[in-house]
Amino acid sequence: MNETHNPQLTSWIPSANIPGNDFPIQNLPFGVFRKKVTGLHHIGVAIGDQVVDITAARNEGLFNGLAEEAAEACSGDTLNRLLSLGRAHWSELRKRLSVLLSDTEERGKVERCLVPMTAVEMQLPVAVGDYTDFYASIYHATNVGSMFRPDNPLLPNYKYVPIGYHGRASSIVVSGTPVQRPSGQTKSDDAPAPVFGSTKQLDYELEVGFFIGPGNEMSKPIPISEAEHHIFGLCLVNDWSARDIQKWEYQPLGPFLAKNFATTISPWIVTLDALEPFRCPAFARPADDPAPLPYLDSTANVMTGGVNITLEVFLRSRKMREKKSDAFLVSSGNFKEMYWTLAQMLTHHASNGCNLRPGDLLASGTVSGTTKDSRGCLLERTWRGTEPLQLPSGEKRTFLEDGDEVTIRGYCERSNAVRIGFGECRGVIVG
């Protein structure tokens, strides 16, 4: 940890110092914003209720050395070039921004680079080349397995292989984008043949995603000791899923059209640097679980491979939104309970020589815990629709209805550190 993590550090931007705000000076997440006035896209860093325009700050002459090189890589309209540079550049830019936003020496110049969040629309932060979704929660895997295979919920490979599938990058959208209810083939158990039509079992999946920084050459695996050098930062992910389509299509090759119609991500990428105070031990495997194979095992991963992130899912029906009711908290879980760590997922992905590239998105899979209220999707939360949710409006939910708004939030909190947040990952279902 370094001076950017100092819990005593405050910003001269008052909104950044309000306790409970997602973007204090200890966070400094990166994103791409569009100025409503000009329509132009810029790369920015969130601070309180403001965004620092990195290119504007560079034009004020506020950077030098590696920080200047990193700021120069922020002159486009995606973060890919910055991601390709690596940790030394990211960290120097972060350190300089931390000084500029706490120390008042250059305040006049920095103020000219600030844009209020109310004057911007957030964009997709990265041009995502490839998207992979894992299945890293053993509780999610066991719950889902027990619904479909009561006698054999967890398949024998689970504790050895970080299970994943290749998703679709083209349908990744930024928070706030409406999600169209998809159509597809479904077949009820008693019907002789499938029908084509709108899904009746639309679901969300609460997930955490991480963006690849420098990639690896094809046929050059990434050892677990170097895995985190290849991770820029984390975002929230909603892997929208149509359960009835999934049930009919998933065998023998896995998810396809049930999951590639939309994936929503939060616009701000919280860097691994910012998450440093919230690292924690990897999932403690029970004594009778096998140890990970050596290529997925390291002391550092065991000691600090986890990340303590509280994750929440909120639901508001159309009726609740019209009445301006508060969103209903559907579930609350923690990312530290994942069976596989970020480093293990990344190392496994590249272990066969598969080349990862800057801007690739790897997602964790549904984050579920041990309790009912920490189950990260409706399939589990309502136990396949057999235990409907009762909303405060009097409505019931098994799966999502048109007009429902799903919002994921995430934040990190511990003693002797300033709380940092991820902002939100939100989408409304349209029929």
Q: Which is nearer to Mn ion, 167 or 359 (CB)?
A: 167
Contact 124, 66 (CB under 8 A): no
Report the nearest approach of Mn ion to the CB of residue 365 (Å). 5
Q: Which is nearer to Mn ion, 115 or 208 (CB)?
A: 208
User: What H or E segment, with its residue span, contains residue 405?
Assistant: strand 405-412
Residue 151: Cβ-neighbour burial (10 angstroms; 0-12, 13-18, 19+): exposed
Per-residue burial over 247-273, b if 16 or more Cβ lie within 10 Å, else e, is: bbbeeeeebebbbbbbbbbbbbbbbbb
Residue 65 region by backbone torsions, left for phi larger than 0, else alpha for psi between -120 and 50, else beta: left
Contact 396, 390 (CB under 8 A): yes
Q: Which two tokens stand for residue 35?
A: 């100025």
List 92, 130, 133, 405, residue binding Mn ion (CB under 5 A):
133
140 is catalytic: yes
d(Cα 219, Cα 350) in Å, to the nearest integer? 8
Q: Which is nearer to Mn ion, 205 or 405 (CB)?
A: 205
- Which residues, 6 or more positions from 154, have their beta carbon under 8 angstroms from its beta carbon? 138, 141, 142, 145
Report the nearest approach of Mn ion to the CB of residue 136 (Å). 10
x/- site string to Mn ion, residues 259 to 298, per CB under 5 A? Answer: ----------------------------------------
Report the nearest approach of Mn ion to the CB of residue 238 (Å). 9
Q: Choose the stretch contacting Mn ion; rule: CB under 5 A; options: 62-70, 127-135, 149-157, 351-359.
A: 127-135
Q: Which is nearer to Mn ion, 239 or 404 (CB)?
A: 239
Sign of CA dihedral 426, 310, 172, 88: positive
d(Cα 58, Cα 104) in Å, to the nearest integer? 17
Q: Within 370-389, which residues bind Mn ion (CB under 5 A)?
A: none
Q: Choose the stretch contacting Mn ion; rule: CB under 5 A; options: 113-121, 122-130, 157-165, 201-209.
A: 201-209
Angle between helices 65-72 and 87-102 (to 10 degrees): 100
Q: Choose the stretch contacting Mn ion; rule: CB under 5 A; options: 25-33, 56-64, 83-91, 125-133.
A: 125-133
Half-sphere exposure of 424 (CA within 13 A, CB side): 11
- By CB under 5 A, the count of residues binding Mn ion is 3
Q: Which is nearer to Mn ion, 239 or 337 (CB)?
A: 239
**203 is a contact residue toward Mn ion (CB under 5 A):** no
Q: Which is nearer to Mn ion, 22 or 239 (CB)?
A: 239
Q: Which two tokens stand for residue 146?
A: 């027990």
x/- site string to Mn ion, residues 220 to 249, per CB under 5 A? Answer: -------------------x----------
Q: Choose the stretch contacting Mn ion; rule: CB under 5 A; options: 23-31, 199-207, 262-270, 395-403.
A: 199-207
- Return the residue nearest Mn ion (CB atom): 239
Annotated active-site residue in 140, 230, 348, 349: 140
d(Cα 257, Cα 255) in Å, to the nearest integer? 7
Q: Which is nearer to Mn ion, 51 or 330 (CB)?
A: 330
Contact 381, 389 (CB under 8 A): yes
What single letter denotes the amino acid at residue 229?
Answer: H
**205 is a contact residue toward Mn ion (CB under 5 A):** yes
Q: Within 20-59, which residues bind Mn ion (CB under 5 A)?
A: none
Sign of CA dihedral 60, 87, 79, 410: negative
Report the nearest approach of Mn ion to the CB of residue 18 (Å). 34
Catalytically active residues, by annotation: 140
Contacts with Mn ion, residue ranges (CB under 5 A): 133, 205, 239
